[in-house]
Amino acid sequence: MSNSSTPSAAAGWYPDPAGSARSRWWDGTQWTEHYYDPATGVPVAQLKAPEGTKVYNLWIWLVVFLPYITLPFLFLIDFSGMFSNMDPGNPSGVVRAELQILTSPGYVLLVVGGWIAFAGVVVSAYRDWRALQVAGVPRPFHWAWSFLNPVYAIGRAVVTKRRTGHGSAVLWATIGMIVVSFVISTVWASMLMVNMMQQLSTYSTLYN
């Protein structure tokens, strides 16, 4: 029973030819994907999807990209306008400037768009999870992890890779989007800091 070509052995449990501590079922002609753990006496199911199972669909790409569609809205928020209208000697002016930001179109789009994107990610993760089940992927990564983005996309890629042998593109796309969002956020924060320093310099000149 050293390889799958042995013709003389009857069907039954034999030591795993791969060298693990489990036993593997020989059906009389070939090794199957069924295992048995002698330590527990419980059969071990091999979580493998059928050959050629499709793991990519519209839903998983929505999960990957939807969280970042609001990033451009950061640049629509007019922080420079707030700083220019802010009078350090007038507390009510500071409050009005802050309200101006909170009611600006860019900020509203950022907040509302963020919630819509979040809902879209959760719904898309559920649809992707169901699609994987229908495709024959056993015990796919659970959709509830989508509430902790990007945990679902990463976990889904790892588990799907184990079940089918492919699916890593989701992982690399997720990492790529994280890097892109970090770069965009850094550029935006730098622009904001420059505006703040310019306004502080102006106030310093006016009040000294």
Least Cα distance to 18 among 28, 4, 29 occurs for: 4
Per-residue confidence (pLDDT) for residue 90, from 0 to 100? 60
Per-residue confidence (pLDDT) for residue 80, from 0 to 100? 62
Instruction: Please give the DSSP secondary-structure letter assigned to residue 147.
Output: G
Per-residue confidence (pLDDT) for residue 143, from 0 to 100? 96
Per-residue confidence (pLDDT) for residue 65, from 0 to 100? 97
C-alpha dihedral sign at 74, 77, 83, 89:
negative
Q: Identify the segments of the chain with pLDDT beneath 50.
A: 2, 4-7
Per-residue confidence (pLDDT) for residue 4, from 0 to 100? 47
H or E segment to which residue 106 belongs: helix 105-135
Average pLDDT along the chain: 81
Question: Angle at CA 144, nearest 5°, toward 138 and 149?
Answer: 115
Per-residue confidence (pLDDT) for residue 130, from 0 to 100? 94
Q: Could you tell me how many helices (H) and strands (E) the chain has, helices first?
A: 6, 4
Q: Are 146 and 117 in contact (CB under 8 A)?
A: no
Q: How far apart are CA 151 and CA 158, in angstroms?
A: 11
Give the pLDDT confidence of 146-164 residue by residue, as tens digits: 999 899 999 999 999 988 8
Per-residue confidence (pLDDT) for residue 128, from 0 to 100? 97
Per-residue confidence (pLDDT) for residue 199, from 0 to 100? 66
Answer whether 0.85 is exceeded by the pTM.
no
Q: Are 121 and 63 in contact (CB under 8 A)?
A: yes
Per-residue confidence (pLDDT) for residue 86, from 0 to 100? 55
H or E segment to which residue 34 belongs: strand 31-37
Per-residue confidence (pLDDT) for residue 5, from 0 to 100? 46
H or E segment to which residue 105 belongs: helix 105-135
Distant-in-sequence, close-in-space partners of 94: CB < 8 Å, separation ≥ 6: 86, 87, 88
